[in-house]
Amino acid sequence: MSQFYFDTDNNGHKSFELPGARPHYNPDRPGQVEHIFLDLSLDIANQSYHGSCNIRLLPIRNGIDRLTLDAVNLNIQSVQVDEESQNFDYDGEQLSIQLSQPTQVGERLLIAIAYSVEKPQRGIYFIQPDKHYPNKPTQVWTQGEDEDSRFWFPCFDYPGQLSTSEIRVRVPKNLIAISNGELIDTQKDGNDKIYHWSQQQIHPTYLMTLAVGNFAEICDEWQGKPVTYYVEKEREKDAKLSMGKTPRMMEFLSEKYGYPYAFPKYAQVCVDDFIFGGMENTSTTLLTDRCLLDERAALDNRTTESLVVHELAHQWFGDLVVIKHWSHAWIKEGMASYSEVMWTEHEYSLEEAAYYRLLEARSYLGEDSSRYRRPMVTHIYREAIELYDRHIYEKGSCVYHMIRAELGEELFWQAIQTFVRDNAHKTVETIDLLRAIEKATGRNLAFLFDQYVYRGGHPDFKVTYSWDGDANLAKVTVTQTQAQADNNKYLFDLRIPIGFGYTQQNETTTDSKLSTFTVRVNEREQSFYFPLQEKPLFISFDVGNHFLKTVSLEYPVPELKAQLEFDPDPLSRIYAAEALAKKGGLEPIKALSAALQNDPSWGVRIEVAKQLAEIKLDQAFDGLVSGLQDKNALVRRAVVQALAKIKTYESYKAVKGLLQDGDPSYYVEAAAAHTIGAIASGNLEEKPKEEKVIKLLKSVLEERAGWNEVVRSGAVAGLAELKTSEAALNLLLEYTKLGVPQPLRLATIRALGKISVGQSPVNLERILERLAELAKETFFLTQVSVVAALGQMETPKAGAILRSLADQTPDGRVRRQADEAMANVQKNVGTESALRSLREELDQLKQQNQQLVSRLENLEAKAKS
């Protein structure tokens, strides 16, 4: 079994590098690939195709007598160079061509490879109806990133080679074929139709694509260029709802990046069973069909809008400016993720963009604290796909934001526009971004990159404050808790603004003003003294909250309450809410309850709801429950999720009422179904009968099939909370069968892991048997769900299933997740049965203690009044 690997040089965090990781470099280039032409005939019924791949190569040096191409599991029939047959060796992974004439600089080679493919494992996917899913559409689509193009055509498969490309493909005449670039010809031939697409701008092999299906085609345009949405027929309305802002986004990004959209068209194709959220193939993005919204989902789902702008941003960052090696993927993924923030700011508000940024930061922070810590740029890994994690997306976004805060608005956009213009249709590495910044602004940001990009981690700040009334001095002490006292290695050196807040009363409103000082924070612990005219109402650390960090505020309650009420920055108000909840007691409950009612930002109200549930006093319930009336669905959802932590009969009744009456939002109903199970699983004084809870959740499963199975997946999560219930388990096992709608089935598979920890040995065996069976399915998302379920289990047998899955899966992401899940299972095993009864006793004690403390707080409050 694999061990935990702690990197001694990683500040106590798990290492990113798993056993088997090694340095990866681009191969030596024999020459410049100038053009790739695929000419293919699809046999969809038999999941196969045949045809030819022609590659035009301009040699870079004389005397090369052997060319090595990437080509996995292809049937290579013949190889010609300049129409002459060549000898070749093929080992199932690489095609080695022995050139009869060694290369000469300046003399192009035309390589023609005839080949066929049967039942491909990766790269190209055949989707068809079957007896379990008779309504599934017939589709064929490709997915090249990271190194999967080699599974569907022979190529030099790494991002450093850029060439033009064309694809001619024969398909049944009722289907449409979409590819990169422009459609230059279509021909009918009997029962078939031949589509011929040509991509005139150079791009890497991983961005070549083909999508085939019986699609409806919805036409839009931007500045005379076609903007097209392809979806299954009868989903036209959803297409417009989900992707209709695309032309406005193209206008916005063209202006921001200082470079008009570069390709002849922009198509978005929504495909079934897609293994990513979206993929930015040049001029032809593929999206999962699960991103298509109906009107009710559009109420509180902005994920689709973010996905659409993310993939569109890649048409500049990734497709126009191409990374030279996977280790620099943060440049494109970070900017695509930051474009989600920029769009939120442009379309909604600065406050909402700030909250979006906080959620991105937390996503990275979660990975850093629980999974591993790594530099954003590293070429040491097992497979390149492992790099596609929260460090390059969300942390990358935060780094772009820090660059923007450091340079200021005008210079930031000058730098970004210089980077895009100087590197259009070229490959880049991280250093090129630093050079563009320096060229455009004269600023050298190496200090920021050294701290945040080339090494792992971020600062963890603890901030304390005190006021000396005699001297009118504010004292602020900042500690970098991530650094050990005797080791400066993990210290950050940053210039951080600290603000002191005052309010001014107008006739109708109270305005806040900040008096701000910038200090250099570069030691483990520093105290700063600020002479002020009068005592501030509140203190704001890192005004604007531009730095990626964690922060723990240790201020007195009055200052925290004032900050929660008056700080103009929503993120600062959120940090104040967290600090208040840690203090506990009635005063913080009152302040948080008022903020849940009154804060103008829904992001702050969401966070306040979470923090109220952290205070273990019965009075927290009264503050929270009023939030069920919030006009914003996202806040109602957060309130329902928070009520799951308040395991009382009152909270059960409140959520049950909401579930029975329904809510305009799918997500609120889903959260209610999950929370019902979570509350009912607690040690309540007055306990709802388990069979009644199961009956209620069963009725949701039977009656509320709807968009993407969101609500029914909530019911499944609710059932999984009833960890000791055999009836709940039986119901879950039913919903893991083939034929159950896929999103619901996947949610149920994951739920088996959660419910397993309280089941009897006999039932545990049933769960393991079912997961072992499911692990044999080849679909990527099924495998991911099986891994997620097994990773939660507390039995060595889960490790054995994970091991065989890791050994057999062709997918690097599944392999990595399975290895990590095995380490998790090892950690869970052995401690469990002894701890479980202790945990239950502790829960009961906590509950009784909470009731006593709550009564005491009430008495004290009465005595004071």
DSSP 320-333: TEEESSGGGTHHHH
pLDDT tens-digit profile of 264-286? 999 999 999 999 999 999 999 99
Q: Which residues pair with 35 in a beta bridge?
A: 56, 164
Per 3-state DSSP, the chain is made up of helix, strand and coil in percentages (nearest 5) of 45, 25, 30
The residue type found at 229 is Y
Give the chain's length.
865
Phi/psi for 651 (5° steps) reads -65, -35
pTM: 0.95
If DSSP codes are grouped into helix, strand and coil, which group holds residue 187? Answer: strand
Token pair for residue 841?
A: 């006793």
pLDDT of residue 486: 73
CB 116 within 8 A of CB 77: yes
pLDDT of residue 1: 36
Tell me how far apart the alpha carbons of residues 508 and 651 are, in angstroms, rounded to a whole number: 37
Tell me how far apart the alpha carbons of residues 763 and 667 are, in angstroms, rounded to a whole number: 31
If DSSP codes are grouped into helix, strand and coil, which group holds residue 849? Answer: helix
Burial letters 350-369, b for 16+ CB under 10 A, else e: ebbbbbbbbebbebbbebbe
The residue type found at 552 is S
DSSP 8-state assignment for residue 14:
B
Token pair for residue 42?
A: 């699809």
Closest alpha carbon to 534 in 564, 504, 557, 555:
504
Closest alpha carbon to 748 in 783, 715, 773:
715
pLDDT of residue 683: 80
How many degrees, rounded to 5, is the angle at CA 598 between CA 594 and CA 604?
90
Q: Other CB atoms closer than 10 Å to residue 470's CB: what's the count?
A: 5
Closest alpha carbon to 166 in 32, 33, 55, 36:
36
The separation between CA 250 and the C-alpha centre of its own chain, rounded to angstroms, equals: 23
Tell me how far apart the alpha carbons of residues 158 and 325 are, in angstroms, rounded to a whole number: 7
pLDDT tens-digit profile of 796-830? 999 999 999 999 999 999 999 999 999 999 888 86
Tell me how far apart the alpha carbons of residues 94 and 143 are, in angstroms, rounded to a whole number: 19
Going along 284-391, which residue ranges are E strands? 284-288, 321-323, 380-381
CB 825 within 8 A of CB 794: yes
User: Would you say the C-alpha torsion 534, 540, 544, 547 has a positive or negative sign?
Assistant: positive
User: Would you say the C-alpha torsion 299, 301, 304, 310 has a positive or negative sign?
Assistant: positive
If DSSP codes are grouped into helix, strand and coil, which group holds residue 435? Answer: helix
Tell me how far apart the alpha carbons of residues 199 and 816 are, in angstroms, rounded to a whole number: 35
Mutual angle of helices 396-407 and 330-347, in 10-degree steps: 70
Q: Other CB atoms closer than 10 Å to residue 533's CB: what's the count?
A: 9
- For tokens 């080695």, what's the residue? 96
Tell me how far apart the alpha carbons of residues 638 and 667 are, in angstroms, rounded to a whole number: 10
If DSSP codes are grouped into helix, strand and coil, which group holds residue 706? Answer: coil
CB 828 within 8 A of CB 793: yes
Closest alpha carbon to 774 in 752, 796, 741:
752
Contacts 24+ apart (CB under 8 A), 171-176: 171/42, 171/44, 171/140, 171/195, 171/212, 172/44, 174/214, 175/138, 175/212, 175/213, 175/214, 176/212, 176/213, 176/214, 176/215, 176/217, 176/230
pLDDT of residue 856: 74
Closest alpha carbon to 307 in 261, 345, 276, 282:
276
Cα separation of the two ends of the chain: 63
pLDDT of residue 592: 98
Q: Which residues pair with 468 in a beta bridge?
A: 473
Classify the phi-psi angles of 425: left when phi > 0, otherwise alpha if psi is within -120 to 50, otherwise beta. Answer: left
Q: Which parts of the chain sit beneath pLDDT 70?
A: 1-10, 830-845, 865
DSSP 8-state assignment for residue 207:
G
Token pair for residue 148?
A: 């999967």
